[in-house]
Amino acid sequence: MRKNESSDKKSRRIDFRLLGRIIKLLFKYYPGLSTLTTIFIIFSAIVSSIPPLFLQRVIETIGKYYETRDWAAARSVIIPQVTLLIVLYTVSVICILVYRQLSAYITQGILYRLRRRMFDNMQYLPIRYFDRNSYGDIMSYYTNDIDAIRQVVAETLPIVLQSSVIVLTVLFIMAYYSVWLMLLVLLGVAVMLWVSRTVGGNSSKYFVRQQKSMGKTEGYIQEIMNGQKVVKVFNHEDQSIRDFDAVNQALYEDSYRAHTFANMLGPIILNLGNILYVLVAIVGGILMINKVPNLSISGLALGISIIIPFLNMTKQFTGNLNQVSQQINFVAMAAAGAQRVFALTDEQPEADNGYVTLVNAVIDAEGNVTESDAKTGQWAWKHPHGDGTLTYTPLRGDVRMFNVDFGYDEDKPVLHDITLYAEPGQKVAFVGATGAGKTTITNLLNRFYDIADGKIRYDGININKIKKSDLRRSLGLVLQETCLFTGTVMDNIRYGRLDATDEECIAAAKLSGADSFITRLPDGYQTQLSGSGSNLSQGQRQLLAIARAAVADPPVMILDEATSSIDTRTESIVQRGMDKLMEGRTVFVIAHRLSTVMNSDVIMVLDHGRIIERGSHDQLIAQHGTYYQLYTGAFELE
Amino acid sequence: MIQMLKRLGKSVREYKKPSILTMLFMVGEVVIECLIPFIVAQLTNDIKNGCGLDVIGKNGLILVVLAVLSLSCGGLAGFTAAKASAGFAKNLRGDLFRRVQTYSFTNIDRFSSSSLVTRLTTDVANVQMAYMMLIRIAIRSPLMFVFAIAMAYTMAGALAMMFVVVVPVLVFGLIMVSRKAMPAFRSVFRKYDRLNESVEENVMAMRVVKGFAREKYEQEKFDKASDDIRIDFTKAERIVALLGPLMQMCLYFNMVFVLTFGSKLVITTHYIDVGQLSAMLTYGFQILISLMMISMIYVTLTISAESARRIDEVLREDSALTNPAEPVNTIPDGSIRFENVRFKYSEKAVNDTLSDIDLDIPSGSTVGILGVTGAGKTSLVQLIPRLYDVTEGSVKVGGIDVRDYDLAVLRDGVAMVLQKNLLFSGTIKENLRWGDPDATDEELAEACRLAQAEDFILSFPDGYDTQIDQGGTNVSGGQRQRLCIARALLKKPKILILDDSTSAVDTRTDALIRAGFRRYIPSTTKLIIAQRVASVMDADQILILDHGRIIAAGTHAELMASSPAYRETYEQQTRNSDAADNAAGEEVTDNA
């Protein structure tokens, strides 16, 4: 909540430096093309500002030959002028054609790179990041924010550059013809700017409010739509309609105010432009008729041949201001989007200072370990030491924790003084209430979080020294919530070990008991899973997750047993799969099932982050302590 | 299509007036905007011919008045258009929401809740924008096009012929580009959806990704999908990017044409003067811009047509259940009879979900229902409060067919705690009052005591005023289930149905709840669906369902003797003594 407020505040104050950063990226990734695009935009903008020069010459010529009606004489002046203009126009149209194509290419390229940078960095962010940021928030980086940046790179930047060049060129041409009239136009522009700032400011204020109301309405709709069946069962329809009408009305108020100001900005600028246009005509007329001395770079006297192009320039000037003003909201949105996108790409990835790696090894009869390039089926930790020597330790699956303290927030400790040993092949079960710290312990083993104090050793090596990816490779994982990926069943099993052959995947499926349902699927192992496997039942998803862990074949497994109520029959199949998977491995299991708990070598009873009892099932029952009470149902675990 | 627009159009209602006003203002604005260049041409000629200040002043004044009028029209139209479109959106959202409230479970199953949310938010917002565009720009641009051409022709006659060349070229270009760009964009949007899905999948499965150290693999997958979009999107944008230079070319052609043939016309015929020459440039600009806008409207409308279609789907969906013409308004007692009931969720389904169900449940008795997932337990009980209608046969409550009751009366009399039970954001008290809006605090406490919820509620610092987060995520699964039971009890129902509603509650509390039911609400008929045999062992009647049929029925003792399936389940669950079963049950805590 606190985080949201502060980011809200930040996004309201537009940080234009972030737009600068986007421009820098453009030139970094596409130095040649971006420069070319810029040059072409500037050139075509200048070309589109110069017609008044030609118009002036043509009208001057018309004035000269108006009475004599001598077209032949006029043509000799006009045709060369127009020919020059046609040449410029042709080049300019080609420039526009080219830069638009380039711009489309660059825009998409930049978006692609931004998306990639976000995603690449996201893969290495600590789990903590995903705890703090809602999934909806993260998604909107890839959708809304990227869209906002697209708008700015593809449209706003070229328009603003082009309009600025036009405005400057036109201003220069104005000064070339008449400083007085130029000053008049500038005065008008000042008024326009003031008006659009007032109106535009109101507009963005209401847009922010509309966004908020929208969020509120969306939240209400979501809640009710989700609970629609409860609404029906309780005859609560009328009440929910009444509540909805209230939020809906509030949204309407903010929405129409926001749009009113946005809608009015265009006509206001346009018509102020019209008034300015008339004023230029009148003032120009007065100056001309009264023969007021003209002040200009060209030194030309004020005449109709100047006033007419001036009128066109006034139109062009205000038209371009209007263009820029239409971009104000986009700029604000893009700056906010860029801020969020860069926040993600700049987010610190999880630190990994590990230097101990997992390598294929050959272990001879005496226990000597030699590293091997080929796949040997045996693994060892390669441990380089400070003095340049290397030692190899066979991978066995011996895990020890010494006096571990940990808290997700520094000031709120979750685990206190956890000490435990798991020898290779042992099964350790964690039992305790929700929030007692069972999952937290396993999160520390694979370093989803780093411990505050104490030590964890894997095969005698401090896990902080082990490269994270290698550490995690040596720890199998079956989570309570099984997450599958879009792709075939085979792909999903192979996720455990990417170089596994089809045969190995099928063997893993057989081991875990998944084979029988997979072969009954329409396309067997090639059945396409979509929407994270929503076309499978929960039990089937769990079996696949077990097969996935089985194919990885790690010496240590972390199992978080599913709590959801699957029926007894499926449950026993899943249970058998789990049992198979546990054979011959060191296993940490967050236990929800009796059989798991009972068969464990050690049961750890956790309460508020402390191990309060430990021992085998029989020992703990004999103790008549908390475990016994849990067992007999005297406590509710919540 | 027309039908759809008619249905959507019904939501305009009180905003018809601002809508029409908007169009009128737009007409006014266009007329004035087209008059302005005409008069400016006059003014320019006046200045050129060196006429007096009075003439200039007069035309100038007319122009200022026109500009002010145009500003008023434009500004007012901005206001009315915003009001009309925001109001239309409000009504549309309201109508959608009301429509959904009339839905039966069958209808609700058809739409996922997230798709309904999108329809009520994003889709309505798209339609709102399209509507605003329609009443403003769709009036303005074609009018502008026609008026500007008419004015140009009136003013400069032959010179206006150039539009015969330029307009078809631009129109042809616009049509070609739209035609080519639309499918390209559609494919981009599809790919975008898929990309978003894969990001969603990745974020959801982050622990798996990290646990298997698959970061690189995921990056490669994403890179491919993202590059795919880049290629397609570039293609689509490059097509649209052709419009800019085309438009510019037309404007330039206009300029060159006016400068050469226009000046020839002025010099040789004096039919027009330099003022008209300059005005022709303005008209040309107006005509080409309005063509451009028309093509933009076309694109926007095509995009929002999809949204409109999705909204219409919701509006068109009729509730599968209707109230009878002369409904029965009282339920005599809590007895339930199923007579020859057959049921399937959809006409098209091949297999029946329930078949051959004949049941007689006396008022005030307790019935336990067991069976594996998919056996039809939930389907069976959902027929009682008429959440679905039977396909064949009949369900009677208090001796009267459920289809003859007033729906609200029936559902008030039959309280059901759904398997997927939910609390809503608000205090505990507010949530409980869903059961009975007028319940006194004492009645609330009574229901909570019965549901074994009072102790933990009072252990919260704010007690009954504790704020519940959306979905009830800040209480544990077992607590949420007990609050839901209390909420249902407050209806003081004749029939109470618990659909696996104590799965997260420990066996001891579960037993206490059932004991409370026996003691305090003996006359209420109780139906309990459970996974644990222990939860239903003491029922008057236990039903075992399999593949939509009742395969065994009787008391615990009878079933132990007669049903091998029941005995097997019972033994499996109690294989390690009753105490052992407790431990397994209790650990089953919050999973939602």
Residue B472 lies in a domain: no
| Residue A3 reports pLDDT greater than 70 | no
Instruction: Output the pLDDT for position B385.
Output: 92
Instruction: Output the pLDDT for position B589.
Output: 35
Q: What is the mean pLDDT of chain A?
A: 85
The answer, for A57 touching chain B at a CB cutoff of 8 Å, is no
The answer, for B56 touching chain A at a CB cutoff of 8 Å, is yes
Task: Tell me the chain B residues in contact with residue A222 when contact means C-beta distances shorter than 8 Å.
Answer: 113, 117, 470
Looking at the structure, tell me whether residues A537 and A569 fall in a common domain: yes
Identify the weakest region by mean pLDDT among A160-174, A434-448, B130-144. Answer: A434-448
pLDDT band, very low/low/confident/very high, at A14 (cuts 50, 70, 90)? low
**B572-587 average pLDDT score:** 47
The answer, for B90 touching chain A at a CB cutoff of 8 Å, is yes
Give me the numbers of helices (H) and strands (E) for chain A, helices first please.
24, 16
Residue A503 lies in a domain: yes
Looking at the structure, tell me whether residues A381 and A412 fall in a common domain: no
Looking at the structure, tell me whether residues A458 and A543 fall in a common domain: yes
The answer, for A22 touching chain B at a CB cutoff of 8 Å, is no
In Å, how far is A534's CA from the nearest CA of chain B? 12
Residue B460 lies in a domain: no
Most confident of A80-94, A539-553, B27-41, B467-481: A80-94
Residue A570 lies in a domain: yes
Q: What is the mean pLDDT of chain B?
A: 87
CA distance A425 to B502: 37
CA distance A607 to A438: 9
Query: In 3D, which of B138, B102, B130 has the Cα closest to residue B8?
Result: B130
Instruction: Output the pLDDT for position A531.
Output: 61
The answer, for B282 touching chain A at a CB cutoff of 8 Å, is yes
ipTM associated with this complex? 0.83
With pLDDT > 90 as the criterion, what percentage of chain B qualifies? 42
Residue A224 lies in a domain: no
Among the partner-chain residues B44, B222, B237, the one whose CB lies closest to the CB of A104 is B237
Looking at the structure, tell me whether residues A464 and A363 fall in a common domain: no
Task: Tell me the chain B residues in contact with residue A100 when contact means C-beta distances shorter than 8 Å.
Answer: 241-242, 244-245
Cut 0.80: pTM above it: no
With pLDDT > 70 as the criterion, what percentage of chain A qualifies? 93
Looking at the structure, tell me whether residues A514 and A383 fall in a common domain: no
Residue B132 lies in a domain: yes
The answer, for A485 touching chain B at a CB cutoff of 8 Å, is yes
Our count of domains for chain A comes to 2
Between chains, do A308 and B108 touch, taking CB under 8 Å as contact?
A: no
Our count of domains for chain B comes to 2
More reliable by pLDDT, B251 or B54: B251
Instruction: Output the pLDDT for position B582.
Output: 43
| Residue B90 reports pLDDT greater than 50 | yes
In Å, how far is B472's CA from the nearest CA of chain A? 11
Angle at A215 between CA A209 and CA A221, to 5 degrees: 135
CA distance B184 to B239: 9
**A102-128 average pLDDT score:** 93
Give tens-digit pLDDT for A462-489. 999 999 989 998 888 888 777 888 889 9
**B323-341 average pLDDT score:** 92
Give tens-digit pLDDT for B184-219. 888 887 888 788 878 888 888 888 888 888 888 999
CA distance B55 to B225: 68
Looking at the structure, tell me whether residues B123 and B197 fall in a common domain: yes
Instruction: Output the pLDDT for position B420.
Output: 75
Going along A334-450, which residue ranges are E strands?
357-363, 369-371, 379-384, 390-394, 399-406, 415-422, 427-432
Instruction: Output the pLDDT for position A434.
Output: 65
- Reported as type and span, the H/E element at residue B113 is helix B113-118
Instruction: Output the pLDDT for position A4.
Output: 39
Among the partner-chain residues A62, A315, A485, the one whose CB lies closest to the CB of B274 is A62
Residue A198 lies in a domain: no
Residue B350 lies in a domain: yes
| Residue A12 reports pLDDT greater than 70 | no
Instruction: Output the pLDDT for position A563.
Output: 54
Give tens-digit pLDDT for A25-71. 999 999 999 999 999 999 999 998 988 889 888 888 988 888 888 88
Looking at the structure, tell me whether residues B295 and B197 fall in a common domain: yes
In Å, how far is B429's CA from the nearest CA of chain A? 15
**B325-351 average pLDDT score:** 89
Looking at the structure, tell me whether residues A432 and A381 fall in a common domain: no
Looking at the structure, tell me whether residues B168 and B248 fall in a common domain: yes
Looking at the structure, tell me whether residues B292 and B409 fall in a common domain: no
Listed in sequence order, the residues at least 6 apart from B185 whose beta carbon sits closer than 8 Å to its beta carbon are B236
Residue A256 lies in a domain: no
The answer, for B271 touching chain A at a CB cutoff of 8 Å, is no
Among the partner-chain residues A63, A109, A281, the one whose CB lies closest to the CB of B60 is A281
Task: Tell me the chain B residues in contact with residue A483 when contact means C-beta distances shorter than 8 Å.
Answer: 201, 204-205, 207-208
Residue B475 lies in a domain: no
pLDDT band, very low/low/confident/very high, at A9 (cuts 50, 70, 90)? very low
Looking at the structure, tell me whether residues A501 and A366 fall in a common domain: no
Task: Report A:524-553 residues touching B (Cβ under 8 A).
Answer: 531-532, 537, 548, 552
Instruction: Output the pLDDT for position A10.
Output: 39
Looking at the structure, tell me whether residues B311 and B411 fall in a common domain: no
The answer, for A421 touching chain B at a CB cutoff of 8 Å, is no
Looking at the structure, tell me whether residues B500 and B370 fall in a common domain: yes
Chain B residue nearest residue A569, CA to CA: B372
**A595-623 average pLDDT score:** 86
Looking at the structure, tell me whether residues B249 and B291 fall in a common domain: yes
CA distance B419 to B400: 27
| Residue B576 reports pLDDT greater than 50 | no
The answer, for B199 touching chain A at a CB cutoff of 8 Å, is yes
Task: Tell me the chain B residues in contact with residue A229 when contact means C-beta distances shorter than 8 Å.
Answer: 105, 108, 387, 418, 420
Residue B426 lies in a domain: no
Asked if A585 contacts A423 with a C-beta cutoff of 8 angstroms, the reply is no
Residue B293 lies in a domain: yes
Instruction: Output the pLDDT for position A8.
Output: 41
| Residue A512 reports pLDDT greater than 70 | yes
Query: In 3D, which of B462, B330, B466, B334 has the Cα closest to residue B404?
Result: B330
CA distance B430 to B468: 9
With pLDDT > 90 as the criterion, what percentage of chain A qualifies? 27
In Å, how far is A366's CA from the nearest CA of chain B? 32
- The 8 Å CB, 24+ separation contacts for B229-235 are B229/A108, B229/A112, B229/B188, B229/B191, B229/B192, B229/B195, B230/A108, B230/A109, B230/A111, B230/A112, B232/B184, B232/B187, B232/B188, B232/B191, B233/A108, B233/A111, B233/B188, B234/A104, B234/A105, B234/A108, B234/A109, B235/B184
Looking at the structure, tell me whether residues B364 and B294 fall in a common domain: no
| Residue A638 reports pLDDT greater than 80 | no
> How far lies B185's CA from each of A212, B172, B237, B441, B474, in Å?
30, 20, 8, 58, 43
Listed in sequence order, the residues at least 6 apart from B175 whose beta carbon sits closer than 8 Å to its beta carbon are none
Task: Tell me the chain A residues in contact with residue B245 when contact means C-beta distances shorter than 8 Å.
Answer: 93-94, 96-97, 100
Give tens-digit pLDDT for B103-119. 888 888 788 777 788 88
Instruction: Output the pLDDT for position A250.
Output: 93
In Å, how far is B261's CA from the nearest CA of chain A? 10
Of A344, A369, A394, the domain-final residue? A394
Q: Where residue A523 sits, what CATH number does that domain have?
A: 3.40.50.300
Q: Choosing among A274, A438, A620, A635, which should be mutated to test the B contact, i.e. which has the most B CBs within 10 A?
A: A274
With pLDDT > 70 as the criterion, what percentage of chain B qualifies? 96
Looking at the structure, tell me whether residues A576 and A515 fall in a common domain: yes
Looking at the structure, tell me whether residues A385 and A407 fall in a common domain: no
Asked if B471 contacts A226 with a C-beta cutoff of 8 angstroms, the reply is yes
- Reported as type and span, the H/E element at residue A487 is strand A487-488
Instruction: Output the pLDDT for position B393.
Output: 94
| Residue A331 reports pLDDT greater than 50 | yes
Between chains, do B587 and A496 touch, taking CB under 8 Å as contact?
A: no
Instruction: Output the pLDDT for position A636.
Output: 43
Looking at the structure, tell me whether residues A379 and A437 fall in a common domain: no
**A376-388 average pLDDT score:** 86
Q: Where residue B399 sits, what CATH number does that domain have?
A: 3.40.50.300
pLDDT band, very low/low/confident/very high, at A228 (cuts 50, 70, 90)? confident
Between chains, do A486 and B198 touch, taking CB under 8 Å as contact?
A: yes
Looking at the structure, tell me whether residues B343 and B309 fall in a common domain: no
Identify the weakest region by mean pLDDT among A53-62, A341-350, A494-503, A578-587. Answer: A578-587
Looking at the structure, tell me whether residues A508 and A551 fall in a common domain: yes
> Residue B398: which domain range?
336-421+494-576
More reliable by pLDDT, A114 or B352: A114
Give tens-digit pLDDT for A139-172. 878 887 888 888 889 888 998 999 999 999 999 9
> Residue A406: which domain range?
399-632
Between chains, do A304 and B47 touch, taking CB under 8 Å as contact?
A: yes
Instruction: Output the pLDDT for position B583.
Output: 41
| Residue A397 reports pLDDT greater than 70 | yes
| Residue A288 reports pLDDT greater than 70 | yes
Most confident of A157-171, A571-585, B37-51, B572-586: A157-171
The answer, for A72 touching chain B at a CB cutoff of 8 Å, is no
Residue B224 lies in a domain: yes
Looking at the structure, tell me whether residues A420 and A566 fall in a common domain: yes
Listed in sequence order, the residues at least 6 apart from A496 whose beta carbon sits closer than 8 Å to its beta carbon are A476, A508, A547, A548, A549, A550, A551, A552, B212
Q: Choosing among A278, A345, A446, which should be mutated to test the B contact, i.e. which has the most B CBs within 10 A?
A: A278
Of A394, A421, A443, the domain-final residue? A394
pLDDT band, very low/low/confident/very high, at A564 (cuts 50, 70, 90)? low
Instruction: Output the pLDDT for position A234.
Output: 86
CA distance A106 to A41: 14
Of A340, A370, A394, the domain-final residue? A394
Residue A162 lies in a domain: no
DSSP result, A146-158: HHHHHHIIIIIHH
Between chains, do A233 and B260 touch, taking CB under 8 Å as contact?
A: no
Task: Report A:228-257 residues touching B (Cβ under 8 A).
Answer: 228-241, 244-245, 248-249, 251-252, 255-257
Q: Would you give the DSSP letter of residue A65?
A: H
| Residue A562 reports pLDDT greater than 70 | no
Task: Report B:293-352 residues touching A (Cβ under 8 A).
Answer: none
Q: Where residue B290 sits, what CATH number does that domain have?
A: 1.20.1560.10
